[in-house]
Structure 1
Amino acid sequence: MNILDPQGPVAAADKAILIDSIAIMLAIVLPTIAAIFAFAYHFRQSNGRASYLPNFAHSGRIELVVWSIPTLTVILLGGVAWIGSHQLDPARPVEGTGAGVTVQVVSLDWKWLFIYPDQRIASLNSLTVPVGAPLHLQLTSGSVMNVFFVPSLGSMIYTMNGMVTRLELRADGVGDLQGLSAMLSGDGFSDMLFDVHVVSQPQFSEWASGVAKNGKTLDRKAYSELVKQSVPKDKQSYKLTDPLLFHDIATQAIPPGPGPKPVDNPARPEPESGAASVR
């Protein structure tokens, strides 16, 4: 999960913004650090050539330097953020090769459900995509708010109950990547990881056909089990028998999960047996 090793155009643009921002800030940080040592050396007690001005109160030149450099830094950082935020709009289409793939993403406690409506399949904690193809992600939450993030592909985006967010991505290299939840959402949050398998177009078609023939059935009944709080050990694949499942989850036609529940609360411990509760 290395953000400095981009595997797609969005992640590459994120990396460029990060490096540009650091370079702009270093333009003021490094000279300031150098000036600290230079001033300390020049105005040391043993330097008889250093000027001593006990009545000094104001210098227009110093004020100009002190205010102009930070102002220019803020303007440059603001420009980089403004341009980048528009160019990297999550819903902005990303060009690619081959047919685009639509993936409907549902965040649960504590797992990720990926639905492929065109292929009529789904997978749990495993996202398989064809290399070079535009990826059209539609995201919602079947429980509390969460954050979908694949560092090597870029762009964190929230999943929220009762609404759908959109994210356009593309993976440029065949291989295995790692995705995660970037939002604290309860006890199983740290295990809420998912694999990203980037495969060739023929391999993706073969994988989808295999799942459609041999996968378990995913309908409302199967989903009602998935929505329960758990950290699954297996990465299951499913045949999608309810094409409106994602729509019903996003519109809350299917009730959302209960969300995380506190097990122990140090701020308000349970009273001992037989003791009166004091409020």
Structure 2
Amino acid sequence: MRGRPNRALAASAALLCVPGLTSGCARGVLDPQGPVGAAEKLILLNALAIMLAIVIPTMLATLVVAWWFRASNTRARYRPSWSYSGRIELVTWSVPAMVVLLLGGIGWVGSHDLDPPKPLVSKVRPVTVQVVSLDWKWLFIYPDLGIASVNRLVVPAGTPVSFHLTSATVMNSFFVPQLGGQIYTMAGMTTRLHLQADRPGSYQGLSSQFSGDGFSGMRFTVNAVPPAQFASWAAQAKAGALVLDAASYATLSKPSQRVAPFTYGSVVPGLFDAISGQKPVPATTKASAVTPGKKV
């Protein structure tokens, strides 16, 4: 009688833990919202199935062997002089070799199909976004629109996004788990990435590469919106007073943590190329109306 309340309490605690364990998958790589993320999830599941095809029979065989060769089983043959079996050797070597070939094939095909610089197949013209990792924030430049945003990426749903990425300081890693495609940003060079959000929604992005004191707060939000809403947001951002020129970029590039998202109404041409080429930022005749961002 005394054990029943304890068992009931343990069962209740286990049920309470289930939502916490599964909630981490709701907004992660197992909940893809784009073609790249869905393809990466499929690779993970296929690899898991191949490995389980070995792990589960091996565990069952271990239990069967232990049960069959128990001391009380008089039908089990005891052969102390046994040393070799060609059939066993064939199985123990051919099965792992097949697993390696299957896993290697999945990895090889996936690495070519999901090559980051490879454009996504779509009838819609992609949106170009230039990404700069700073200490400790993200700068997103829309060169075709002449605007920029900090710690907030707005893209049209159902439209491929062509990313050009670099770092103004140390190495970082650009990662939107639900869209897929983790890729590094490095000073003095440009990397490429193509992603797409299939449907409107808000997705969390982060830096998955430790980069100093403000690393834990180096996060951003990806807002995938309908194309009409994206055009409206771009027009509203373009009407803003902030100008991203040499002076405002010098202010923005100073280390700051947990900067609230904001936008620039105009961007000096050639800014991204200057940052990725480690050259002076081009000057402009316009002055920044407001000092962007502050350290909190």
Q: TM-score, normalised by structure 1?
A: 0.89
Number of matched pairs: 255
2:63 matches 1:49? no
Distance, in Å, in 1 between the alignment partners of 2:198 and 2:51 is 31
Q: How do 1:130-209 residues align onto structure 2 when only pairs under 5 Å count?
A: 130-209=156-235
Amino acid of the structure 1 residue aligned with 2:116: P
Correspondence for 1:25 among 29, 51, 54: 51
1:40 aligned to 2:40?
Answer: no
8 A contact 1:96–1:170 mirrored in 2:
no
Identity, % of aligned pairs? 53
Letter in 2 for 1:119: L
Q: What is the alpha-carbon root mean square deviation over aligned residues?
A: 1.2
Partner of 1:59: 85
Q: Once the two structures are superposed, what CA deviation does each residue of 1:198-256 show, in whole Å capped at 9, x if it has no partner?
A: 0011111110110111241111111111211111331111123311110100000039x
Question: Is the helix fraction higher in 1 or 2?
Answer: 2
Of the three residues 96, 100, 105, the one matched with 2:131 is 105
- Matched to 2:82, the amino acid is F
Q: Which stretches in structure 1 are left out of the alignment for 5+ residues? A: 256-279
Question: Of 77, 86, 89, which aligns to 2:115?
Answer: 89
2:240 aligned partner: 214
- SS of residue in 1 equivalent to 2:265: strand
Whether contact under 8 Å (1:110, 1:191) holds in the other structure is: yes
In 2, distance between residues paired with 1:174 and 1:92? 23
Q: What letter matches 2:148 in structure 1?
A: A
Q: Secondary structure at the match of 1:168?
A: strand
Distance 2:255 2:79 in 1: 70
- Greater relative contact order (Cα 8 A, min sep 6): structure 1 or 2? 1
CA contact under 8 A between 1:103 and 1:114: conserved in structure 2?
Answer: yes
SS class of match (2:239): helix
Shift in Å at residue 167 of structure 1? 0.5
How many Å separate the matches in 2 of 1:218 and 1:96?
A: 32
Between 21-30 and 97-106, report the one with greater CA deviation. Answer: 97-106
- The one-letter code matched in structure 2 to 1:131 is A
**What are the Cα deviations for residues 14-66 of structure 1, in whole angstroms up to 9, with x where unaligned?**
00000000001111111111111111101111111111111111111111111
Q: Give me the whole-angstrom Cα distance separating, in 1, the residues matched to 2:177 and 2:147.
A: 25
Question: Deviation per CA, 1:169-197, whole angstroms, max 9, x where unpaired?
Answer: 11101010000101011111111110000
Q: Tell me the equivalent position of 1:72.
A: 98
- CA deviations on 1:141-187 (whole Å, 9 max, x unpaired) are 01001110101111111111001000011110101000010101111
Q: Bigger CA drift: 7-16 or 224-233?
A: 224-233
TM-score, length of structure 2 as denominator length: 0.84
| SS in structure 2 at match of 1:80 | helix
Counterparts of 1:119 and 1:246 in 2: how far apart (Å)? 14
1:134 Cα offset (Å): 1.4
CA contact 2:217–2:258 (8 Å) conserved in 1:
no
Q: Judging changes above 3 Å, is the alpha-carbon distance between structure 1 residues 116 and 50 closer, same or farther for their aligned structure 2 residues?
A: same
Q: Is 1:2–2:48 an aligned residue pair?
A: no
